[in-house]
Amino acid sequence: MEYTGRHTYLFETGKWKAIGTYFDENGIPVNVTGESSMDVTKKIWTLHGFMELQLDDPIKIFNRYIIKPFDPQKDHTTWISENPALGKLKGRFTIVNDMIISQYQSEDGKFSGSEVLLFIDDDQYQNWGVVFENDFKISSWEVMLERFE
């Protein structure tokens, strides 16, 4: 499907499944699944989600975002998140045509990262991301997001 000029992820209430690969600090791949749930209101947007590493003893990585709704005159907005492993994060979502780019840093400056979400169609996005601890890459991933509600 051709990009329509409007994004569905982040901008519409819905639930999304993630399937793909997580890479640890040594680049070792692990299958990963996950879900995210987006709730859009006029005053606040919230995104709850998790990724689950498919190991013998599965590990779930949780995240909850509070997103300032986009100003219709701007292509970017800010967000905050409480992440159990990384602490309080502050970030920004920026729209660049068919991509949503997220950049963030922990409150103490120790952790930083970025993500790219590429619009495939109204119900699918390709997602890539990376997390750093200071100058050391601690993880990255590539997943396909598919809306299921």
pLDDT single digits (tens) 87-124: 999 999 999 999 999 999 999 999 999 999 999 999 99
Long-range contacts: 100-103, Cβ < 8 Å, 24+?
100/7, 100/9, 100/10, 100/125, 102/129
Per-state percent for the chain, helix, strand, coil, to nearest 5 = 0, 65, 35
User: Rounded CA gap, 91 and 70, in Å?
Assistant: 14
Distance CA 68, CA 103 (A): 15
Q: How many residues does the chain have?
A: 149
* Residue 72, domain CATH: 2.40.128.20
Provide the greatest CA pair distance for the chain.
48
Sign of CA dihedral 80, 112, 16, 57: negative
Exposed / middle / buried, residue 84 (Cβ in 10 Å: 0-12, 13-18, 19+): exposed
> How many domains is the chain built from?
1
Domain with 62 in it: 14-147
* 141 is a domain residue: yes
Indicate whether 4 belongs to any domain.
no
Task: Tell me what pLDDT residue 99 has.
Answer: 97
* 113 and 101 Cβ atoms separated by less than 8 Å: no
Residue 131 lies in a domain: yes
d(CA 27, CA 140): 8
Coil vs helix vs strand at 106:
strand
For the chain, give the percent of residues with pLDDT over 70.
Answer: 99
pLDDT band of 23, cuts 50, 70, 90: very high
The verdict on residue 54 lying in a domain is yes
CA distance 125 to 107: 28
Q: What is the pLDDT of residue 8?
A: 95
2 domain-assigned:
no
Whole-number pLDDT of residue 2: 73
pLDDT of residue 1: 62
pTM (predicted TM-score): 0.93
